[in-house]
Structure 1
Amino acid sequence: MTQPGPQRQYAGRSAAERRADRRSRLVDAGLQMFGTVGYAMAPVGRICKVANLSTRQYYEEFGSREALLITVYDTINTEAIEAVAKAVAALGNATLTARVEAALRTYARSTASDLRSARVAYLEIVGVNPAIEAHRMAWRRRWVTLIGGVLQAAIERGEIADRDYRLAAGAFVGAANGLLQDWCATDDRAPLDDVVAELSRLADALTR
């Protein structure tokens, strides 16, 4: 069997490294464009100009503009859900109130400290087309599952009543997204810590 030859390198980088760099630059450009001028005003050509790449290179990485939007959105949510899970785990045997506050603070800072990320996560992703809406709803279910795990742990500790909290978790995720969507859409924004405090009060009311 013929063995594959070594990858050719240009400027000390392999083809895989160059491709990873192009993809990273396109994702960064997507965040910049979608998070500032908006998805509707960010055609592929403008994205490529920001990334300093050709449209040919774009389509080697992404089959459509929607594919880049999904990738940027997934990046924001993946970083957030990993950070939240880590923050909750680090608290160990802390009270439910402490764990919820840590989760909310981590989530808000991860998704909304950069207004470009907030705009993608709460505004630009909404209503693009049915496929992207289905993708957004799948992420919402993942967040509901994470919250459900936190609440189940609280049940086992005897901190809250033993009941089915799936509807409460879904309502909370919807409320959190709605509040952050409104927060992102207005120029007269309250401090992000105030948003976290309001969501903490809501979470307390839902589990009381």
Structure 2
Amino acid sequence: MDRYGESGGTPPTGRAGRTGRTGGTGRTGGTGQSRRAQRRERLLSTALDLFTTRGFATTSIERICAAAHVSIRAFYEEFESRESLLIALHNDVARAGMEAALVVLGDPAADSASTRDRVTALTRAYLAAVTADPAAARVAFVEVIGAGPTVEEHRLLWRSLWTDFFTGEAERAVRRGEAVARDHTLAVVALIGAVNELVAHWARNSATLSRDLLADEMAHLVLATLGTPAYEGK
């Protein structure tokens, strides 16, 4: 099992603690909780639209509330700040990517798969998840950059998780004789930065850049970082 699976760690939720877009409350929640869940969803959906079209830096809480038809007081009942709202949106995408990767590793076939096949499956599943909504991808990979220390701290938590994840994959590849035996930590940190920039580039150019091309390049980067024989895209 990879290091991430052995550690039993869970992805960070961020201060906003968002767990899903629907905000379902169940039968016992009552009308008040249902209205609050709908209000929270309006804020998230409106922020996603405004952060994508106007940018995080130029979108105020007042503008979000006006567009969502929510009072500023109600905003602060849901989120501590504009940054915590951005963290919630980022967390949705980041969790989707991690969960997609863990589904791949949960497939019994992944245990015996070659490093090349395993990495190819991981990168394609991850990309399918994080690019499913181009607007959300733009917010998660472009608008979060330079959004302040609180957002950066949240991003670093995710970077730490992915560092453990890919370091575990590197160790597995070494044990199988399919990667160069060395300390991969710094290389993995650089890899994560490169992957984030690739997705950010796609988010800015999604109309002209195919996901398949992005997936092939990402798999090539991962395998090159591990020291695995060259990936041949299909």
Verify same fold: TM over 0.5.
yes
Q: Distance in 1 between matches of 2:141 and 2:99?
A: 19
Q: Map 1:9-24 onto structure 2 (within 5 A).
A: 13-24=30-41
Q: Which residue of 1 aligns with 2:63?
A: 46
Q: Which residue of 2 aligns with 1:67?
A: 84
Q: Map 1:126-205 onto structure 2 (within 5 A).
A: 126-186=145-205, 189-205=208-224
Does structure 1 retain, via aligned residues, the 8 Å contact 2:57–2:147? no
Q: Which residue of 2 aligns with 1:81?
A: 98
The number of aligned residues is 197
Q: Which runs of 4+ in 1 moved over 4 A?
A: none
Report the RMSD for the aligned CA atoms in angstroms: 2.1
Normalising to structure 1: TM-score of the pair?
A: 0.84
Q: Which amino acid aligns with 1:202?
A: L
Picking from 139, 149, 158, the partner of 1:120 is 139
Q: Which residue of 2 aligns with 1:6?
A: none
Residue 205 of structure 1, CA deviation = 1.7
Q: Which residue of 1 aligns with 2:73?
A: 56
Structure 2 alignment gaps of length 5 or more: 1-28, 228-234
Does structure 2 retain, via aligned residues, the 8 Å contact 1:35–1:115? no
Task: After superposing the two structures, state which structure 1 stretch, 39-48 or 173-182, moved more.
Answer: 39-48
Percentage of matched positions with identical amino acids = 36
Structure 1 alignment gaps of length 5 or more: 1-11
Does structure 2 retain, via aligned residues, the 8 Å contact 1:88–1:102? no
Q: Map 1:75-114 onto structure 2 (within 5 A).
A: 75-90=92-107, 91-114=110-133
Q: Distance in 2 between matches of 1:164 and 1:57?
A: 49
Q: Distance in 1 between matches of 2:197 and 2:63?
A: 30
Task: After superposing the two structures, state which structure 1 stretch, 16-25 or 172-181, moved more.
Answer: 16-25
Does structure 1 retain, via aligned residues, the 8 Å contact 2:46–2:64? yes
Q: Which amino acid aligns with 1:42?
A: T
